[in-house]
């Protein structure tokens, strides 16, 4: 029988949506054409090595297969690198400006609401060294903002060199730099705070404590850096960003600065920028300077700046207007039902928030707490799904869920509740290092696979009482969670190893953190104070 459904992550467009997407696409193409750019189209399929160094998102993969010559080819996940390949293999005279419209593809995890096909319309300005190229991008963004978005787009600028300037001043090795920046860029603040504790005697320590908050308006940045001294190289970069932000603001475009977030691609070498609309959980436009990209193809350095509009997001925003955006006046929190919920209520109350509606919720799943906060009750795995899709701003969920799902939300605060630990357990006489392939029962296949690493084990997913698996001979051992070990002992199971510790975490949607920066940080500071009492 013919498969009648679409693969996960794809959709058909019809009627008003399809027509609006066509209108938006033609508008972007016409805007570029009117500025005398040259149209370029590249194939959907490229050799895989064209994308060497291209950074896919967490949990994403390229669509890859073999061609007739047994060479590895992929469906393009990006449109800039194919243009670099084209320029490196032709004699096109530079400098030159190009524009394009096309689809890119990335394979995401199933059942998370992710989209695997995105239409992009963008420009590449190759051979342009001066700041005029970035200013041209800002002018185009401003025009799209005025004509399509009612001046609601916020332009966010950063610089790919800033983090290098800081880590160089700290004297970090490549491994130390990677670990610190990974914790910073993912806003994994419990780990970040552990790492910077090694620098308490450094002159840079005051800066390190506020670095995760260095995004927002020019005033926000200056307030965070009050009386903090930066390394000279980092200060020059920041001063240039402030000057650029002020210039952009004078044109009437709303602008923000961010020096705490990872550039979208590793090939960016200077100024970077992104644009978003409040209440929408995806960026509408992104780009930056990438002076070294073409040299990866032919060894010849060539200055370049490019950007791309996400045509699908732009279409949705212009089609639905404000009706598709959640109420920006409220902080919406997805709270894991049960024990996590029970432990979180006293923390909220210590922040001066009346939780009586939550204590007496009856069967309600959405509970307003005054005018400022709205709580959504959900199962743990669903909390991260709501966060990822932008329908909530914050989530309260166990770190076991985050570890198992390899979640991309920002892990902002360890609430120090719900403490327990992953363990490896079995009946007496079990040998974890026995040579044969073992069968391991668990609710957490991802964590189990990470624990055993290269050791070949067969993982059996169990949804109910995991302790039963070794008792009835289904598995040799289990990977599970324990708080006191009582259930294990009562079933004659022994602990053979302790894995990572678990506690409840406050996590944030990345764009919500920017859109509601001060409100979220105020709550985090209040919760931190309550935890540390």
What CATH number should be reported for the domain whose range is 15-149+310-325? 3.30.930.10
Q: Which residue in 374, 389, 278 sits closest to 334, CA to CA?
A: 374
The rounded distance, in Å, linking the Cα atoms of 192 and 173 is 16
For the chain, the C-alpha Rg in angstroms (whole number) is: 25
CA angle in degrees (0–180, nearest 5) for 214-229-204: 80
The rounded distance, in Å, linking the Cα atoms of 58 and 24 is 29
Name residue 271's beta-bridge partners.
159
Residue 41, classed as helix, strand or coil, is coil
The rounded distance, in Å, linking the Cα atoms of 466 and 458 is 15
Q: Which 8-state DSSP code applies to residue 279?
A: T
Name residues whose C-beta falls within 8 Å of residue 179's C-beta, 6 or more positions apart in sequence: 195
Q: Block means of pLDDT (10 residues each) for the chain, length 533 residues? A: 80 93 97 96 96 84 93 96 92 93 91 87 95 96 96 96 96 96 94 96 96 96 94 97 97 97 89 94 95 78 94 93 57 96 96 94 92 94 91 95 84 95 95 89 95 92 93 95 92 94 95 93 95 86
The rounded distance, in Å, linking the Cα atoms of 22 and 212 is 39
What is the per-residue burial (b if ≥16 Cβ within 10 Å, else e) of 258-285? bbbbbbbbebbbbbbbbbbbbbbbbbbb
The rounded distance, in Å, linking the Cα atoms of 67 and 301 is 31
Are 490 and 467 contacting, i.e. CB atoms less than 8 angstroms apart?
no
| Location of structure tokens 């940045």 | 221
Sheet holding 477-482, edge to edge: 457-461, 438-442, 477-482, 420-426, 494-502
Q: Report the phi/psi class of residue 262: left, alpha or beta, with left for phi > 0 and alpha for psi in -120 to 50.
A: beta
The rounded distance, in Å, linking the Cα atoms of 82 and 44 is 10
- 3-state secondary structure labels for all residues of 369-423: ECCCEEEEEECHHHHHHHHHCCCCCEEEEEHHHHHHHCCCCEEEEECCCCCEEEE
The reply to whether domains 331-419+504-531 and 420-502 share a CATH topology is: yes
Fold of 331-419+504-531: D-Maltodextrin-Binding Protein; domain 2 (3.40.190)
Sheet holding 45-47, edge to edge: 45-47, 72-75, 63-66
Written as six digits, the tokens of 242 are 């402030």
Q: Which 8-state DSSP code applies to residue 77?
A: S
pLDDT for position 57: 79
pTM here?
A: 0.88
Written as six digits, the tokens of 150 are 């009612």
**Phi, psi (deg, nearest 5) at residue 459:** -95, 130
Q: Could you say which of 3.40.190.10, 3.40.50.300, 3.40.50.10470, 3.40.640.10 is the CATH number of the domain covering 420-502?
A: 3.40.190.10
The rounded distance, in Å, linking the Cα atoms of 102 and 309 is 11
What is the per-residue burial (b if ≥16 Cβ within 10 Å, else e) of 90-110? eeeeeeebbbbbbebbbbbbe
Question: What does 434-486 look like in DSSP terms, one character per residue?
Answer: -SSPEEEEES-HHHHHHHHTTS-EEEEE-SS-TTHHHHTTS-SEEEEEESSSH
CA distance between the termini of the chain: 64
User: H or E element: which one contains 165?
Assistant: helix 162-170
Question: What does 92-151 look like in DSSP terms, one character per residue?
Answer: --SSEEEEEEEEEE-BPPTTS---SEEEEEEEEEET--STHHHHHHHHHHHHHHHHHSTT
Domains of the chain: which residue ranges? 15-149+310-325, 331-419+504-531, 420-502
pLDDT for position 374: 96
**DSSP H helices in 186-267:** 189-196, 205-210, 218-224, 232-250
Tally of CB atoms within 10 A around 413: 21
| Location of structure tokens 């590895």 | 72
pLDDT for position 56: 83
């Amino acid at each position: 029988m013919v498969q009648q459904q679409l693969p996960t992550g794809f959709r058909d467009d019809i009627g008003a949506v399809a027509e609006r997407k066509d209108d938006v696409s033609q508008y972007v193409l016409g805007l570029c054409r009117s500025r005398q750019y040259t149209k370029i189209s590249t194939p959907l399929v490229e050799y895989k090595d064209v994308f060497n160094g291209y950074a896919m998102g967490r949990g994403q993969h390229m669509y890859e297969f073999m061609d007739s010559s047994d060479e590895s080819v992929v469906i393009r996940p990006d449109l800039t690198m194919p243009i670099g390949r084209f320029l490196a293999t032709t004699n096109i005279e530079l400098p030159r400006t190009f524009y394009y419209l096309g689809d890119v593809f990335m394979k995401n995890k199933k059942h998370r609401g992710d989209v695997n096909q995105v239409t992009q319309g963008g420009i590449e300005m190759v051979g342009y060294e001066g700041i005029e190229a970035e200013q041209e991008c800002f002018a185009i963004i401003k025009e799209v903002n005025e004509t399509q978005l009612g001046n609601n787009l916020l332009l966010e600028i950063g610089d790919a060199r800033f983090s290098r300037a800081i880590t160089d001043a700290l004297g970090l090795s490549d491994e130390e730099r990677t670990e610190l920046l990974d914790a910073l860029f993912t806003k994994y603040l419990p780990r970040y705070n552990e790492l910077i504790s090694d620098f308490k005697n450094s002159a840079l320590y005051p800066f390190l404590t506020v670095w995760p908050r260095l995004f927002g308006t020019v005033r926000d940045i200056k307030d965070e850096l009050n009386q903090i001294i930066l390394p000279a190289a980092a200060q020059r970069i920041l001063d240039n960003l402030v000057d650029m932000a002020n210039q952009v603001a004078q044109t009437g475009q709303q602008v923000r600065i961010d020096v705490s977030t990872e550039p979208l691609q590793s090939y960016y070498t200077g100024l970077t920028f992104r644009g978003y609309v409040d209440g929408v959980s995806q960026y509408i436009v992104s780009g930056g300077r990438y002076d070294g990209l073409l040299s990866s193809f032919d060894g010849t350095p060539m200055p370049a700046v490019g950007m791309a509009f996400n045509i699908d997001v732009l279409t949705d925003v212009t089609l639905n207007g404000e009706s598709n955006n959640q109420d920006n006046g409220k902080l919406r929190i997805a709270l894991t039902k049960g024990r996590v919920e029970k432990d979180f209520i006293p923390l909220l109350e210590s922040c001066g928030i009346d939780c009586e509606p939550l204590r007496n919720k009856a069967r309600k799943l959405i509970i307003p707490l005054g005018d400022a906060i709205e709580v959504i009750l959900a199962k743990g795995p669903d909390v991260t799904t709501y966060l990822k899709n932008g329908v909530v701003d914050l989530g309260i969920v166990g770190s076991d869920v985050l570890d198992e799902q390899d979640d991309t939300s920002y892990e902002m605060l360890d609430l120090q509740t719900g403490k327990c630990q992953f363990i490896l357990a079995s009946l007496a006489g079990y040998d974890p290092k026995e040579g044969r392939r073992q069968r391991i029962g668990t609710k957490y296949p991802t964590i189990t696979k990470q624990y055993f690493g290269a050791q070949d084990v067969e993982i059996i997913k169990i949804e109910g009482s995991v302790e039963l698996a070794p008792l009835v001979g289904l598995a040799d051992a289990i990977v599970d969670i324990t708080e006191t070990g009582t259930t294990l002992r009562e079933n004659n199971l022994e602990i053979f190893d302790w894995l990572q510790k678990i506690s409840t975490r406050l996590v944030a949607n990345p764009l919500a953190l920017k859109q509601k920066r001060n409100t979220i940080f105020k709550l985090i500071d209040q919760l931190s104070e309550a935890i540390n009492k």
